[in-house]
Amino acid sequence: MKVSIERSVLLKAMSQAQSVVERRNTIPILANVLIEAEGETVSFRATDLDIEVQDKVKATVERSGVTTVGAHTLHEIVRKLPDGSQVVLADDSTSGRLHISTGRSNFTLATLPREDFPIMASAEYDVNFNAKANILRRLFDKSKFAISTEETRYYLNGVYMHVSNDENSNVLRCVATDGHRLARVDADLPANASSMPGVIIPRKTVGELGKLLNDDDVDIAVSVSDTKVRFATSDIQLTSKVIDGTFPDYSRVIPSGNAKRLEVDAAEFARAVDRVSTVSSERSRAVKLNLDEDRLILSVNAPDNGAAEEEVAVSYGDEQLEIGFNAKYLLEIAGQVDRENAIFMFNSSGDPALITEGEDSSAIYVVMPMRV
């Protein structure tokens, strides 16, 4: 194999590949990227056995061939090469080395046989549909903050993507929860997606997926089966196993009878929460919300450290309420609200609160209160 690739193109492909490759690997081949050169394209494939990413780039292929080489090392080399340079990758099958050269820099890396590289079996997908990148980005970006990191509840370690017909219209829905907060985000159901099985997409996959969704108008081909999911552009293909578990019935978690309504400028609210929580000494920073006629007082009382209070002008017309939340949760949710005011619906100080962006119910958030 001998190919010549523009440095920035190679860097982009290698960035994608190395982020899938785990830093610590007990199986040596999993630290490698599979490089395949054929015709006018070179493909870079990396896997951690749960996720596989394949990136195809245009290149001048002098000699076609296949090899595998350490992904992190190759990425580091390419990153440090001067911008604009033309990088030549050439493998030497007798010495089992890959030569990387550009002008004056020359590197030689050890390779491993391509036969050892595990290719993820391409499953039979039940459903294939197309969705615009910006639609998918919104679904995942607005829900991923609520993904749980608890290993004991592995079935919460991802975003549950499924078709829902809650309000008698079918939507493509993403839900994530860690038991303290929940995010439910809807989008219009793309054509051909109605029979999609519900799948839990792992956190790492959601993170990798973000990189595919940079350009708003690009069509993403989505393929789903019970065990696998694939997102593909014309160049990049991301395949992932889905979490083998049952996502809990979240619908009964979403409060429907909350009647106390608070409307507040989300950004202003977030800044105030951030300010008062500074004095809190604990990891879980509890902020108390004191609600009265068009007035919200945020306060933190940390006996060992100090106290803080801030008044925020809001719209509130229901009876007086005192309720506590983890500051971090409030900040993360407020951060999702970008177009309109945030609307909080409360019941009592012990019941979960419902948060929406204006009257738009296509993205709703639920957060558990804390006793303060």
Partner 1 sequence: MHSLCRNCLAFIKNEPRCSKCNSPSILRHTELKSLSIAHLDCDAFYASVEKRDNPDLIDKPIIIGGGNRGVVSTACYIARIKGVKSAMPMFQALRKCPEAIVIRPRMELYANISKSIRQMMFELTPAVEPLSLDEAFLDLTGTEKLHGNPPVVQLSLLVKKISQELGITGSVGLSHNKFLAKIASDLDKPKGFSIIGKKETEEFLSNKPVSLIWGVGNTLKSKLEEDGIRTFSELKIRNKEDLMKRYGQMGLRLWHLSRGQDSRKISANNQVKSISNETTFSEDTSDRLLLDGHIWRLSEKVSDRAKATEKLGSIVSIKLKRKDHSQVTRRLSLRDPTQMCSMIYKSAKTLLDNLDDRGPFRLIGVNLSKITKALPDHYYNDLVDIQGKNNIEVEKATDKIRGRFGKKAILRGRTLR
Residue among 27 and 259 whose Cβ is closer to partner 1: 27
**CB nearer to partner 1: pick between 138 and 180:** 180
* Shortest separation between residue 326's beta carbon and partner 1, angstroms: 9
What is the C-alpha to C-alpha distance for residues 216 and 229, in angstroms, rounded to an integer? 21
To the nearest whole angstrom, how small is the minimum distance from the Cβ of residue 182 to partner 1?
6
Minimal distance, residue 338 CB to partner 1, in Å: 24
Report the nearest approach of partner 1 to the CB of residue 177 (Å).
6
The footprint of partner 1 (CB under 8 A) covers 148-154, 156, 177-182, 248, 250, 253, 284, 350, 352, 366, 368, 370-371
Which of 65, 158 has the CB closer to partner 1?
158
Residue placing its CB nearer to partner 1 in the complex, 182 or 345 = 182
Nearer to partner 1, 177 or 233 (CB): 177
Q: What burial class does residue 169 get, using C-beta atoms within 10 Å of its C-beta: 0-12 exposed, 13-18 middle, 19+ buried?
A: exposed
Please identify, using beta-carbon distances, which residue of 78 and 345 lies nearer to partner 1: 345
Cβ at position 133, least distance to partner 1 in Å: 30
- Shortest Cβ distance from residue 287 to partner 1 (Å)? 15
**Secondary structure of the chain in the HEC alphabet?**
CEEEEEHHHHHHHHHHHHHHCCCCCCCHHHHEEEEEEECCEEEEEEECCCEEEEEEEECEEEECEEEEEEHHHHHHHHHHCCCCCEEEEEEECCCCEEEEEECCEEEEEEEECHHHCCCCCCCCCCEEEEEEHHHHHHHHHCCHHHCCCCHHHHHHCEEEEEEECCCCCCEEEEEEECCCEEEEEEEECCCCCCCCCCEEEEHHHHHHHHCCCCCCCCEEEEEECCCEEEEECCCEEEEEECCCCCCCCCHHHCCCCCCEEEEECHHHHHHHHHHHHCCCCCCCCEEEEEEECCEEEEEEEECCCEEEEEEEECEECCCCEEEEEEHHHHHHHHCCCCCCCEEEEECCCCCCEEEEECCEEEEEEEECCECC
Q: Rounded to the nearest whole angstrom, what is the least distance from the CB of residue 332 to partner 1 in the complex?
A: 15
> Crossing angle of helices 7-20/203-210, nearest 10°?
170
Which residue number, 179 or 358, has a Cβ lying nearer to partner 1? 179
Select 32 or 177, whichever has its Cβ closest to partner 1. Answer: 177
Least distance between partner 1 and beta carbon 189 (Å):
25
User: Rounded distance, CA 136 to CA 35, Å?
Assistant: 29
CB of 370 to partner 1, least distance (A): 7
